[in-house]
Every structure is written in structure tokens, then in C-alpha cells.
Amino acid sequence: MPQTKLLACISAGLISLTGAFVFGLRTGRAQTSNRVFEIRTYTCNEGRLPALEARFRDHTVAIFNRHGMTSIGYWIPQDAPRSQDTLIYILAHPSGEAAKQHWEEFRDDPEWKKVQADSEASGKIVNHVDSVFADPTDFSPIK
């Protein structure tokens, strides 16, 4: 399956998960924890992926940690064209309410505001962000 079709299928599936999460459908999901996972996909403006990677590597992950966001992993797609402009990562939050609070605190963080402004001095980095909140299934090795 070509990379673009695979990503489209994954995106469609994640959007479906978002709907289920929003409406509270929890059938078949693990009930042992309220921890929620956030799957984020950033699409960068042309040529700006290295700047985004540097910003995450040098600043963003540490700021996430300070605000209670647990990094599960960060990925760059292998195949072009997405390998040139896409960062995918997963965060864990203790709950949906905690996720909302974490993001509010993150956006208000003075260090983040400075890092964002400095890193975008030569132009905006991120063109588009997709975010999906998901609950682990009862058979998921990560909960």
C-alpha cells in the first residue's frame, strides 16, 4: 500500500477514535486507568521540518515534561513526501481534563513563548496540526 494511502487510512481511523472519545464510547477499552493518549501530527511549511525537530529536541520536550505531559515517542515518516514535512508524536496525560490543563499551561509558559518566537524568527514552522485523543484497548501493551 503506498505511503499516502496508508497515512490516509491511519488518519481516518484516528478521526473515528476521536469521535468515539468525544461521545464517551468506551466499549472494548481498558478500564484500569484514566490515562489518555494524544496522537499529534504536525505538517511543516516547506523546508521547516529541521527547525521543528531542533525545537522539540532542544526545548519542547523539556517544557512538556515540566507540565506533566509524558512523551511516548516521536517519529518522522520514512517515505517522501511526508518524510520532508511531517512529525508524528504521542503524549500521555493522566486524564482528558489533565490534558486540557497541560495544554493551557504549556501555551502560557513564558519559556515556550520565547522558544516559539525565536524559532519562528525566519518564518512560521508549522502549517497544520492534527490531534487525536485515544484510550488504550484492553489488549494494548501500553496503558
Domains and CATH numbers, the chain: 27-86+100-134 (3.30.70.100)
Average pLDDT over residues 89-93: 98
| Strand duo 36-44 + 70-75: pairing | unpaired
**Mean pLDDT of all residues in the chain?**
85
Average pLDDT over residues 5-21: 45
Distance CA 1, CA 86 (A): 19
Report percent pLDDT > 90 for the chain: 75
Which strands, in side-by-side order, build the sheet including 36-44?
Answer: 70-75, 86-93, 36-44, 126-134
Peptide bond connecting 110 to the previous residue in cis, omega within 30 degrees of 0:
no
Do residues 8 and 14 make contact, with C-beta atoms less than 8 angstroms apart? no
Average pLDDT over residues 7-25: 44
The pLDDT value recorded for residue 34 is: 79
pLDDT at residue 128 greater than cutoff 70: yes
